[in-house]
Amino acid sequence: MNKNFFTTSHRRVMAVAILALFLGGCAGFSQDGGFATIEQTAKERIGKDVTWARNDREHDTIEARVTELLKKPLSADDAVQIALLNNKGLQASFFELGIAESDLVQAGRLPNPGFSSVRARAGDEFTIEQALTFNIFSLLTLPQSVAMEKRRFEQTQRLIAMEVLSLAAQTRKAYIMAVSADETLRYTRQVKDVADAGAELARRMARVGNWNKLSQAREQGFYADAALNLARAAQTQTAAREKLTRLLGLWGEQAAFSLPERLPDLPRTPDDLPNIEQIALEQRTDLQAMRLEIEALAKNLGLVRTTRFINVLEFGPVRIKEGVSPDPYRKGYELRFEIPLFDWGTARVAKAEAIYMQAVNRLAESAVNARSEVREAYRDYRASYDIARHYRDEIVPIKKLISDENLLRYNGMLLGAFDLLADARSQIMSVNGYIESLRDFWLAQADLDMAMIGKTVTGASPKAGMVVSEANAGH
């Protein structure tokens, strides 16, 4: 064996290997895994905390915080906070950061060198070929690959931040539905109690001959409707509470959480947002994520064009030994690359361009839709406010005034019991109508807030750029 081979050629090999190790060591994992961006978004946009539970200590911290919040009737803000801490689906999404960061770190590392050895023998003569090769192409494209994965990692951060905001909006709406369902159920029970009293009075009067069958049937029919409405209200209340429970990630004894008896009152004045479209275009997270995706695709497109002809380039030292055993090794090097004889890369470039233009047009569509969505949400918000205010300031006070006046007449024996019962039913129904209008307003408020923030991009994925990356592989 020629010792000079290990003193000259191997020095060069070791130099290349050290360089590869240095470049590979430059890419490392961050301490927070990119989660600080998610925390900042949640704090700035909705004023809430998020925690990525990656160990038992963080799990225990979340459990203690949730237990503390559940000790009192939940407010809307408390419900949102519990969901952001305790929802297991959201916790699963946080690990997308770990996947994306792993891809980023991997992109900054060179592939391992390859070693090949061939030995052939014919009698006393034999041939030995040994080669140590490095993928030089990966070294040349390393900066572009890292930049591409960095953009993809940033896109993953934005998509997960969008999921946090979306969960907060869903939880707030589920909370509103659950509280209003509880309140509606209570008032529906009152209607049923009044109907029960009317039906019983009608039966008694009919038995003594002071009530005709038509009037008795009407009271019985109202009682039957009230009983049916109560059953439906109870069904709605159960469904609303269970949906909120799922979003909060609660189970067992935790599912017995308590809610306030009524929704918050209307604000004194509605929000005035004259520049709502411009604000939405500037701050919607989904549009920002799509812009990042387009930048990544553009970067990938440039990478496809530069590698359309040579996409495998390997270089390394080689030593060959032929003949009898005492003969020395012959030294040299091996260079291997693909010859664009059949595949000139035009299909890969065309595919990359098509994917890029597809993303551009989807961004344009999303911008148009965003303008429409915020306009619609704001108009619904203002209309819901006007309806609820009309109930509060006009309908409910008038019904109460009528009820008070009828009670005076009943006490003066100027009004019958059935008239008083009918008036009580009407008043309760007006209050229930106000509850529904107040519920619709707060739902419209939640929809408006979400329209200003954005929505989850349909079909979007942190791996959206992978299609173009596959084109770079040339296989």
Tens digits of per-residue pLDDT, 322-355? 555 566 665 665 555 555 555 556 777 787 778 8
pLDDT tens digits, one per residue of 386-429:
999 998 888 888 777 766 666 656 555 555 555 656 666 676 77
β-sheet bridge partners, residue 56: none
**Per-residue DSSP letters for 93-130?**
HHHHHHHHHHHHHHHTSPPPPEEEEEEEEETTEEEEEE
Question: Residue 126: pLDDT above 80?
Answer: no
Question: Residue 310: pLDDT above 50?
Answer: no
pLDDT category of residue 2 using cuts at 50, 70 and 90: very low
Look at phi and psi of residue 209 and say left if phi exceeds 0, alpha if psi is from -120 to 50, else beta. left
Task: Specify whether the CB–CB gap between 153 and 347 falls below 8 A.
Answer: no
What secondary structure letter does DSSP report for 337?
E
Three-class secondary structure of residue 70 per DSSP: coil
- Burial class from Cβ neighbours inside 10 Å (0-12, 13-18, 19+) for residue 47 reads exposed
Least-confidence region, from 17-21, 259-263, 420-424, 436-440: 17-21
CB count within 10 Å of CB 187 equals 17
- What pLDDT score does 336 carry? 56
pLDDT tens digits, one per residue of 208-253:
666 667 666 777 777 787 888 889 999 999 999 999 999 999 999 8
- What pLDDT score does 410 carry? 53
Q: Cβ neighbours of residue 444 under 8 Å, at least 6 residues apart?
A: 377, 380, 381, 383, 384, 385
**More confident: 393 or 286:** 393
- What pLDDT score does 282 carry? 80
Mean residue pLDDT of the chain comes to: 77
Residue closest to 58 by CA, chosen among 30, 32, 29, 89: 32
- What pLDDT score does 162 carry? 85
pLDDT tens digits, one per residue of 145-168:
787 788 888 888 888 988 999 999
User: Is residue 71 within a helix (H) or strand (E), and if so which, with residue range?
Assistant: none
**More confident: 14 or 31:** 31
* Phi then psi dihedrals of residue 301, to 5 deg: -60, -45
Task: Specify whether the CB–CB gap between 220 and 202 falls below 8 A.
Answer: yes
Rounded distance between C-alpha atoms, residue 191 and residue 429, angstroms: 8
- What pLDDT score does 83 carry? 96
Crossing angle of helices 142-207 and 35-46, rounded to 10°: 40
Q: Which domains does the chain have, with CATH numbers?
A: 31-109+141-308+345-473 (1.20.1600.10)
Rounded distance between C-alpha atoms, residue 289 and residue 159, angstroms: 7
pLDDT tens digits, one per residue of 47-96:
999 999 988 999 999 999 999 999 999 999 999 999 999 999 999 999 99
User: Is residue 176 within a helix (H) or strand (E), and if so which, with residue range?
Assistant: helix 142-207
Rounded distance between C-alpha atoms, residue 329 and residue 5, angstroms: 8
